[in-house]
Amino acid sequence: MTTYKTNKTTFQLNWYANPYHTPLFVAQSKGWLLEEGIDLAILEACSPSDVTEVVGAGKVDMGMKAMIHVLAAKDRGIDLTSFGTILDEPPTGLIFKKSMNIKGIEDLRGKNIGYIGHFGKIMVDDLMKQAGIPQTEYKMVRVGMNVTDAIMRGEIDTGIGFTNFQRIELEELSGEPVGMLRIDELDGLGCCCFCSIQFVASDEYYKNNIPKIEGFMRALRRAMDLTIEYPDEAWDIMCRANPRLNTPLYTKIFQRTLPYFSRDLLNVERDWTKVGDFCKHLDILKNDFDQNSIWTNEHVPSTGTPSVAPVTAGGVLPSKTSPFAVTPEPVAIEA
């Protein structure tokens, strides 16, 4: 049995490395993670459904996963803490070629519908139940994240995907317009926050590694700033780290993803409240569970690294978060 121990910090992606992971690779390539004492090993996932179990069991230090899956994991006894957001409300729904002539949920009768994992099936089954469509009148097919390939092969007629990813893939590969029935609109949620992508760790790892979590978030803060403000440079870094992404298709996906990157990296209380209630509606989370108990913004930097000091020491609105905060001079009070 080996006694070798690594000093690397492991990070599990929620899929193969792709455009919406760009800030993570920017932080690594720029050396900003190493500046924080973090030698990060980025791991790709063959099956996205494995991520919550692998991270939750402590087999990997940190990872990323959609908000709804973080909550649903809790109901399975997997304790995760979300300490930030990388992708904010990417529109998600059932994508299809326009030639399928799907206009609404009634048009899904008799269709083969692809889903990623267990909870995708639960969401679609619930929508069909709301519409009064029995399970005998449609077929659910598990295709993982390969919805585009499954549609092109004719295995499914429609499937769950992101508007900024699989929808673009299908447009490019099929050569025809692609439609989408957004799940948030069909359910009247008012936002597509259930598919926001979170930074997560097991509760145990999170509690025992606060300095590392803080360093990781400082590096990601810098990387997100660069990705949003200098997207061409960020995409060049991503393609050098992952040469297979250097194609017109993935470049288009990256461009379409830019509006959904989380500028502030913050967990959003409104979203956790709404998604938690949605999970309770789907019966994948106990009604008495407080969904706002499994996330924190405590370690999210409020700003990046300023390039110049403020004209007035401490800034015109000095605060505890100011990187140039100063201690006021004591004032003498005459007796």
Q: What is the pLDDT of residue 30?
A: 98
Q: What is the pLDDT of residue 304?
A: 52
Radius of gyration of the chain (CA): 22
Q: Is the pTM of this model over 0.85?
A: yes
Which stretches of the chain drop beneath a pLDDT of 70? 1-6, 303-306, 318-335
pLDDT tens-digit series, residues 279-316: 999 999 999 999 999 999 999 997 655 678 888 887 78
Number of residues that make up the chain:
335
Q: Which of 69, 118, 281, 299 is catalytic?
A: 69
Q: What is the pLDDT of residue 298?
A: 96
How far apart, in whole angstroms, are the C-alpha atoms of residue 94 and residue 54?
28
Maximum C-alpha span of the chain:
88
Tokens of 236: 């060049």
Nearest alpha carbon to residue 6 among 50, 38, 29, 51: 38
Q: What is the pLDDT of residue 306?
A: 65
Q: What is the pLDDT of residue 305?
A: 59
How far apart, in whole angstroms, are the C-alpha atoms of residue 58 and residue 329?
48
How far apart, in whole angstroms, are the C-alpha atoms of residue 33 and residue 28?
6
Q: What is the pLDDT of residue 335?
A: 45
Q: What is the pLDDT of residue 311?
A: 87
Angle, alpha carbons 267-196-103 (nearest 5°): 145
Q: Does residue 299 carry a catalytic annotation?
A: no
Burial 45-60 (b: 16+ CB within 10 A, else e): beebbebbebbbeeeb
Q: What is the pLDDT of residue 192?
A: 83
Q: What is the pLDDT of residue 295?
A: 97
